[in-house]
Amino acid sequence: MYNFAHSMKFFAILKMKLVVTILLMLPFGVVNLIGQSVPERAAEARGRTILEATRNKLKTFQALRFHFTYTMENTQQNITETLKGEFLVQGDRYFMTLGNNRFISDGITTWSYMAELNEVYINLLANDQETLTPTSILNDFEEKFRARHVRQETQNGRRVEIIDLTPIGAHLFFKYRVAIDSNTGMVVSTTAHDREGGTFTYRIDRVETNPRIPQGTFRFNAQEFPGIEVVDLR
């Protein structure tokens, strides 16, 4: 029987950090490819326009707190897991909880705490290839993905724009599907598709703009976790 808790050491740091990637990467640009048909170019142009509008809106806030529901599914292996989480971002700094796990960065160092194992992995943000920040996205995101508007549909009574983001070159996931509210321009949900039939969905339940941030939020305090094992990868 599949044991989610014990699989976390292998998958969690890589794929739970996906929330950092998909929540931050959406607003900061998409690539324009040549050699496509007119409908394809139109779909990509519309996708870029929508994402640029979202980018411009999010950049007006000094900080954002996302409350979300994370669902991992793999129908081939009969796996479905759901967790609640919270993601606070301010510039290159972030604080995320996913279940009892924590993922933190002060803009220089990252800490990934796995509750079931009582372990924390420490790395440098510059070395952490699976965590995208606003700075890194602005520098090179245009070279890694292209966007395509798929359709407009209704989800839970509101109109949303469906956009597919496709990586250029090798990538852990072959597609991200993004839903953006047609009226507010805010992210509604994102789903990443891996090559083993798995999907990793983050549904945004609520967004707080410019929340109060207590001092020390973007640092990990190992003293809060007696007996913790520290794995320093710097």
Task: Give pLDDT tens digits for 5-52.
Answer: 444 444 544 555 555 555 555 554 444 444 556 678 889 889 888 887
What is the reported pLDDT for 213? 95
How many domains, in total, are found in the chain? 1
97-148 pLDDT, tens digit each? 988 999 999 989 999 999 999 999 999 987 765 554 433 333 344 567 788 8
Domain carrying residue 33 = 4-232
Amino acid at 46: R
Chain segment 72-94, per-residue pLDDT in tens = 898 888 889 898 989 898 988 98
Give the rounded distance of the alpha carbon of 72 from its chain centre. Answer: 13
Per-residue model confidence (pLDDT) at position 2: 38
Q: Torsion-angle region of residue 10: left (phi > 0), alpha (psi -120 to 50) or beta?
A: alpha
On whether the pTM is more than 0.85, the answer is no
| pLDDT in the model for residue 165 | 84
Q: Which residues contact 222 (CB under 8 A, 6 or more apart)?
A: 120, 228, 230
What pLDDT is stored for residue 23 in this prediction?
56
Contact 102, 111 (CB under 8 A): yes
Supply the CATH number for residue 9's domain.
2.50.20.10
Of 220 and 166, the one with more pLDDT? 220
Q: Work out the pLDDT band at 202, boundaries 50, 70, 90.
A: confident
Which CA distances in Å does 182 have to 60, 79, 179?
Answer: 18, 32, 9
Residue 117 CA to chain centroid, in angstroms? 23
